[in-house]
Amino acid sequence: MRISKNDLDKDNYYKQDGIDTEEPIEADENLGYVRFKKSVRTTKHIFFKAGSGIEAGEGIEAGKGIETGWGIEAGWGIEAGEGIKAGEGIKAGSGIEAGWGIETSEGITAGSRIKTGWGIEAGSGIETSEGIKAGEGIKAGEGIKAGFEIEAGEGIETDSGIEAGEEIEAGSGIEAGEGIITFFGNITAKFISALRICVGFHKTEECTINAEIRKGTIILGKLQTPKE
């Protein structure tokens, strides 16, 4: 099914409250944010051309990928069987989950967990009140902030700081332009490069840094030799 300007009212709401279909959902270019009062679901893909984004009052779900020229915003969660790619930001009231990767030129914000089978890349920041888990790497132009853990199968990289409520774990290195802090967990990686490193800020027991320190001052935590 295809969405055109004729399907939208003066406030850019779609003619129906939501969509639940087994067909691909595609939208013409330069529609701005196409708005839905409820959920958008398809067993196939969602593809909005350049200049068009999607905004749903409830959830957005695709059996395959989701790609938009502008941003993606959902009052509930966003889920794709394959990848999620947005020309602008991605924002969800609850979780974001992709079978492949997530990519946006701006930021990613989620009310709960962010999980991908591949990597996560954002032009600006990544923030969630729960955890972040990526099968491959995590890269953010600005900061990375999680209420729970941050876990990447490969590296974690940002030009700003990294903050996690619990542990941070990377399959390779962790690189931050500013500081790295955990409130209740350890850090495990092959190496760390940052301005300052602090682990277990709110924990009474001492937390550990299991990594080679290539750059950065440890202000809290015990350094341990990383396991081979």
Express each pLDDT in 75-116 by its tens digit.
999 999 999 999 999 999 999 999 999 999 999 999 999 999
d(CA 82, CA 66): 8
- Is 62 found in the same domain as 163? no
Tens digit of pLDDT for each residue in 38-65?
999 999 999 999 999 999 999 999 999 9
For residue 18, which of 32, 52, 46, 51 has the smallest C-alpha distance?
46
Q: Which residues of 202-225 are buried (b: 16+ CB within 10 A; e: fewer)?
A: eeeeebbbbbeeeebeeebbeeee
The answer to whether 181 and 165 are in contact (CB under 8 A) is: no
- Is 160 found in the same domain as 109? no
Domain that holds residue 221: 128-228
- Is 109 found in the same domain as 13? yes
In a domain, 123, yes or no: no
- Is 109 found in the same domain as 4? yes
Say if residue 202's pLDDT is above 80.
yes
In a domain, 207, yes or no: yes
- Is 176 found in the same domain as 69? no
**Based on the structure, what is the number of domains in the chain?**
2
